[in-house]
Amino acid sequence: MLLNSILFDFLAGLAVVSAILMVTRRNVVHSAVFLIGTLVATAGIFLQLQAEFLFVVQIILYVGGIMVLFVFVIMLVNLDVTLRFPQFNRQKFVAGALAIALGGQVFAAYWIGHGALHFKGSSSPMPAKNTEAVGQALFQHYMLPFEIASILLLVAMIGAVVMAKRRV
Amino acid sequence: MIPVDLYLFLSLALFIIGVIGVLTRRNVIVILMSIELILNAVNINLIAFSRMWSSVDGQVFAIFIITDAAAEAVVGLGIILALFRNRETVLADEMDMLKW
HEC profile of chain A: CHHHHHHHHHHHHHHHHHHHHHHHCCCHHHHHHHHHHHHHHHHHHHHHCCCHHHHHHHHHHHHHHHHHHHHHHHHHHCCHHHHHCCCECCCHHHHHHHHHHHHHHHHHHHHHHHHHHCCCCCCCCCCCCHHHHHHHHHHHHCHHHHHHHHHHHHHHHHHHHHHHCCCC
Coil, strand or helix at B95: coil
In this structure, what CATH number is given to the domain that contains residue B74? 1.10.287.3510
Q: For residue B27, report the phi and psi dihedrals to the nearest 5 degrees.
A: -80, 125
In single-letter form, the type of residue at position A154 comes to L
CA–CA separation, B53 and B22 (whole Å): 33
CA–CA separation, A67 and A18 (whole Å): 15
Please report whether residue B99 resides in a domain. Answer: no
The DSSP 8-state label assigned to residue B27 in this structure reads B
Overall number of domains in chain B: 1
Please report whether residue B72 resides in a domain. Answer: yes
- Summarised one tens digit per residue, pLDDT across range A69-107 is 999 998 888 667 777 777 788 888 899 999 999 999 999
Residue A121 pLDDT class (50, 70, 90 cuts): low
A138–chain B nearest CA distance, Å: 6
When CB atoms are compared, the residue of B24, B77, B79 closest to A96 is: B24
Percent of chain A with pLDDT over 90: 51
* Residues A150-168, mean pLDDT to the nearest whole number: 87
**Domain that includes residue B12, residue range:** 4-91
B5–chain A nearest CA distance, Å: 7
CA–CA separation, B50 and B59 (whole Å): 7
Please report whether residue B80 resides in a domain. Answer: yes
Is A28–B67 a contact, with Cβ atoms under 8 angstroms apart? no
Tell me, what's the pLDDT at A123?
A: 63
Question: Which pTM value belongs to this model?
Answer: 0.91
CA–CA separation, A131 and A53 (whole Å): 5
Please report whether residue B97 resides in a domain. Answer: no
Residue A17 pLDDT class (50, 70, 90 cuts): very high
- The ipTM estimated for the assembled molecules is 0.91
Terminal Cα-to-Cα distance of chain B (whole angstroms): 57
Q: What is the mean pLDDT of chain A?
A: 88
Contact A34, A19 (CB under 8 A): yes
Q: For residue B51, report the phi and psi dihedrals to the nearest 5 degrees.
A: -70, -35
- Summarised one tens digit per residue, pLDDT across range B51-87 is 888 888 899 999 999 999 999 999 999 988 888 888 8
Is A164–B81 a contact, with Cβ atoms under 8 angstroms apart? yes
Contact B2, B11 (CB under 8 A): no
Q: Give me the architecture of the A1-83 domain, per CATH.
A: Up-down Bundle (1.20)
Please report whether residue B9 resides in a domain. Answer: yes
A14–chain B nearest CA distance, Å: 11
Percent of chain B with pLDDT over 90: 57
CA angle A101, A20, A6 (to 5 degrees): 100
Is A70–B84 a contact, with Cβ atoms under 8 angstroms apart? no
When CB atoms are compared, the residue of B23, B47, B82 closest to A164 is: B82
